[in-house]
Structure 1
Amino acid sequence: MSWTLCALLAIGVWTIGVFSASVQTGLIAQLNFCDSNHIQHFLCELPSLLLLSCSPTILNDIMIILGDIYFGVFNFLVTMVSYGCIVASILRIRSASGKRRAFSTCSSHLMVVTLYYSTLIYTYFLPGSGASMEYYKVVAALYTTVSPALNPLIYTLRNKDVKAALQKVTPASWWRKRVAT
């Protein structure tokens, strides 16, 4: 990839992000809020913030859903198409051990991507319903803590230097059991 294309992609992503955030901020700024300023969530996210409004939030809800379709559903589908191309390439590998190794890496990445996007899409497709705030809290914990915590594990545990450092720190009997299974 050329530096020009990389810069254009970065500028495009930042522009879309700033535009989306500006639209949401502008819409929120026009709302009137009731006396309560206690958010029923551990994050200050749009769906929980809309529940505090005394004003109609239908336009905010529509914009949240449109944003979720683009940032969640569209990006998830593009990612899945990308993984489909990767799987097609893996299936062309002749050796069984090569396929196994590639599928092992690909499956862990796919699991984290699916967990992240599915929880994010769930959170923003049901804005302002208020019916299941406890579920929102659990789902928000999944996409704000679990997915980011799994990414470093996936990438570092496949690194030979990290594995060697872990072998020095952990008892040898643990590694013999791990290799045997």
Structure 2
Amino acid sequence: MESKAVDQKKILYAVIALLVIIIVVFAFLNRGDENLQEGQILVKTGDNVIGVLTVADLQKLPAAQKKMVIQSTSGMTKHEFTGAPLLDALNSIDPGLSQKCTRIITRGIDNYTSGVNMSEVLRPNNVFIVYADHGEPLKTKTGGEGAMRIIIYQDEFGQRFTNFLTSLELQ
């Protein structure tokens, strides 16, 4: 009987050790090499940062006002976003970027990651980087001002919206 209990403890310790190793591996894989911080968006191709966007940079572009009702698990919320088309933001860095990639991976400071196809970005009145809602600056994860967010106007559920946006990886 004691031998069986000892074997069960060994199995339990082995499972715990395996889980710890898995957690360490995933933490290593999900770590960011760059210094992501709210208030700026790193625009990258692979490991190369090709530009940085701030709210001030976006405010220099033609402003877009977008009224939306977003359906989510917490219910429906009404928004009146202010921002700039993602295509205009990319063109402010390099007018040829939209021709050089087919997909953009968006990442927030909270490591939420989503993807947008370039065909969606090229569609008029669709993908925006917003920085205000109802005329008020978007709040950062820590409650300050200066956050940015990706919205996809033709995505009524908002599942791919990236809050606290800090990185755009062009693929």
Is the TM-score greater than 0.5? Answer: no
Tell me: higher relative CO, structure 1 or 2? Use CA pairs within 8 A at least 6 residues apart. Answer: 2
More strand by share: 2
Q: Which has the larger radius of gyration?
A: 1
Normalization by structure 1: what TM-score?
Answer: 0.29
Instruction: Write 1 or 2 for the structure with the bigger share of helix.
Output: 1
Could you state the TM-score of these two structures normalised by the residue count of structure 2?
0.30
